[in-house]
Amino acid sequence: MALQPSFQKALVIAGKYDAPHTIEVFLDYVCPFSAKLSLAIDSVLRPLFAPGGKYAGKVKVIFRNQVQPWHASSTFVHEAGLAVARIAPEDFWKFSLALFKVQGEYFDIPTSSLTPLQVREKLAKLVADTVGQDKAAGFQDLLALKSSPNGGTAVTDDLKYTVKFSRQNGIHVSPTVLWDGLIANEVSSSWGEKEWTEFLEKKVTV
């Protein structure tokens, strides 16, 4: 498991960073199956890995941004998530859940008539509504285009990191789940408490 230091507070979305077992979930904000899995993470896994939970201190969950470029808005929504990870790391998962719940607004057809700036303005409103109005200005600053014609934004390097990480590890589809660094093909976005409980009983060895 590798995670650059600036992401450690935000992208470890369940459990403690030093937990020996690691679940990595590669999710795309505009993927319906990723949205399904996010609900299971929130309702099933987070309680199990929280203080007092059955696997507290034993397993952690890392969110991996999985940009799917065949959806034009995927880059913009993941930029938004990474910007929130910078300005409000403690609210990254809260924002991610909120974005998953309204993901249909960022699908291909709803965004086809919007400019990139309009998509980012829409995401800034979601930040204000979910993370706080006081964070919206900082969010917009991070997503402001640099003065050079092709310079990207302040989170472009973070976006590159996430894309390169997926590429070098051969991750293609969303969602993809890794257990201790290896792809767990058996994991399904439709899993509920029963399936996850059985999986963890087999896998947790500490």
pLDDT digits (tens, 9 = 90+) for 58-95: 999 999 999 999 999 999 999 999 999 999 999 999 99
Q: Can you list the domains of the chain with their CATH numbers?
A: 5-203 (3.40.30.10)
pLDDT digits (tens, 9 = 90+) for 170-201: 999 999 999 999 999 999 999 999 999 999 99
Residue 164, CB half-sphere, CA atoms under 13 Å: how many?
9
Cα angle at 162 between 91 and 97, to 5 degrees? 30
Residue 101 has pLDDT above 80, yes or no: yes
Taking alpha carbons only, the member of 27, 28, 24 closest to residue 12 is: 24
- What digits encode the pLDDT tens for the residues 129-156? 999 999 999 999 999 999 899 999 999 9
Residue 149: is the preceding peptide bond cis (ω within 30°)? no
Q: Say what the pLDDT of residue 117 is.
A: 95
Whether the CB-CB separation of 195 and 188 falls below 8 Å is answered with yes
- Secondary structure class of 95 (helix, strand, coil): helix
Angle, to 10 degrees, between the axis of helix 133-142 and the axis of helix 116-130? 150
- Which tokens hold the place of 148? 């050079």
Looking at every residue in the chain, the average pLDDT score rounds to 96
Q: CA-CA-CA-CA torsion for 44, 50, 55, 57, nearest 10 degrees?
A: 150
| Amino acid symbol at 179 | W
DSSP bridge partners of 130: none
What is the predicted pLDDT for the residue at 6? 80
How many residues make up the chain in this entry? 206
d(CA 75, CA 28): 10
pLDDT of res. 178: 97
pLDDT score for 5: 81
Region 113-129: mean pLDDT is: 97
Cα–Cα distance measured from residue 98 to residue 101, given in angstroms and rounded to the nearest whole number: 5
Q: Are 203 and 179 in contact (CB under 8 A)?
A: yes
Phi first, then psi: what are they for 12, rounded to 5°? -85, 100
Share of the chain above pLDDT 70, in %: 100
- Return the H-helix or E-strand segment holding 61: strand 59-65
* Angle at 27 (CA atoms; ends 137, 36), nearest 5 degrees: 105
What pLDDT was estimated at residue 1? 62
Residue 25 neighbours by CB under 8 Å, 6+ apart: 37, 41, 61, 62, 63, 64, 175, 176, 177, 178
